[in-house]
Amino acid sequence: MSSNIDPGDAAYRAWQLTKGDRMAQYGHPWDDYTRVRRIFGSITNYHHNLTTQEAIMFMVCVKLARLMKSLEEGKMHEDSLVDAIGYLNCLHMADARERLHDAPKHVIGDMVIEWER
């Protein structure tokens, strides 16, 4: 079993998606998964309010399950690999934003986060 994707390439593709296309489409992961957790709680009447980070971890679990299935079949599903790395990046970004939420402006790596008050 082998993959045609270099591990560094997979991480870079995931970073590009989470910082570029997906952020432009869905907003910052903290905002996106805050919506997800609220919807999940509403439709399931789940008694534990998921944190934003738990909502993202749910998606990591989805991608890991899909990777496990593809590996059992002797192949690496590259999109699921990139997505799993991307969701882990989203987890990091959401956690950083949550920890720094009270400040008006922060620089994390090459990303400037500003909050409206």
The Cα 83–Cα 22 span in angstroms is 11
- The pLDDT value given to residue 105: 52
Q: For the chain, what is the mean pLDDT?
A: 79
Higher pLDDT, 15 or 102: 15
Look at the alpha carbons of 43, 44, 47, 50 in this order and tell me if their dihedral is positive or negative.
negative
Highest mean pLDDT, choosing among 36-40, 57-61, 76-80, 105-109: 57-61
Residue-wise pLDDT for 41-54, tens only, equals 888 777 777 888 88
Asked if residue 117 has pLDDT above 50, the reply is: no
Higher pLDDT, 95 or 8: 95
Which percentage of the chain shows pLDDT scores above 70? 79
Higher pLDDT, 81 or 114: 81
- The pLDDT value given to residue 42: 83
Nearest Cα residue to 89 out of 27, 17, 35, 8 = 17
